[in-house]
Amino acid sequence: MKRQIILFDLDGTLVESEEGIIKSIQYAADKLNLPAKTALELRPFIGPPLLEQFMAFYDLDKATAEKAVAFYRERYAPIGVLECQLYPGIKNMLEELKNQGFILGVASSKPETFVKQVIEHFDLTENFSAIVGSTFTAERNTKGLVIQEAIKRLEANPRKDSIVMVGDKEHDAFGAREQQIPCVAVLYG
């Protein structure tokens, strides 16, 4: 019998993390004297890798975008990471899926240290067999590489036909496609 594995994105899928992300982006933008933007205008930052998003959204060169990410983390690490809430029903859903025998994992573009901090904060750690995020270096900085690492930690390769990715952004779908697994999109987040 095949093991059925479900990988979940974090931001916009398991947790509503807009407040901490938006306030940290505004903090970074202020530090770099970038134009002030509303929370609604900054929503595209929720989910995708920060460096590329700063470059695309504010039309920054890589060096300036790296400074923006550093300023973002200056606020996000001590405050913003826990300015989030679980979506209603998530904890029960995860427990039920685990009780039904599904193997659960997290595959997030957020740096792994922050992913683990959020998962622990909401007392969800025992539901997941792997909790994977990006690295602060280029080693694992795309959704496809994060998913690949999650599959590796779950020792699921080459049985990719038993794995599905659940997420809320195109990056989740593209990363899943890169790893040749299906993606289920949530309509919230």
Distance CA 74, CA 76 (A): 6
Instruction: Give the β-pairing of 183-185 and 163-167.
Output: parallel
CA 27, chain centre distance (Å): 20
Catalytic residue positions? Answer: 9
Instruction: Give the other-Cβ count within 10 Å of 139's Cβ.
Output: 9
Strands, sheet with 183-185, edge to edge from the N-terminal-most edge strand? 130-134, 103-111, 5-8, 163-167, 183-185
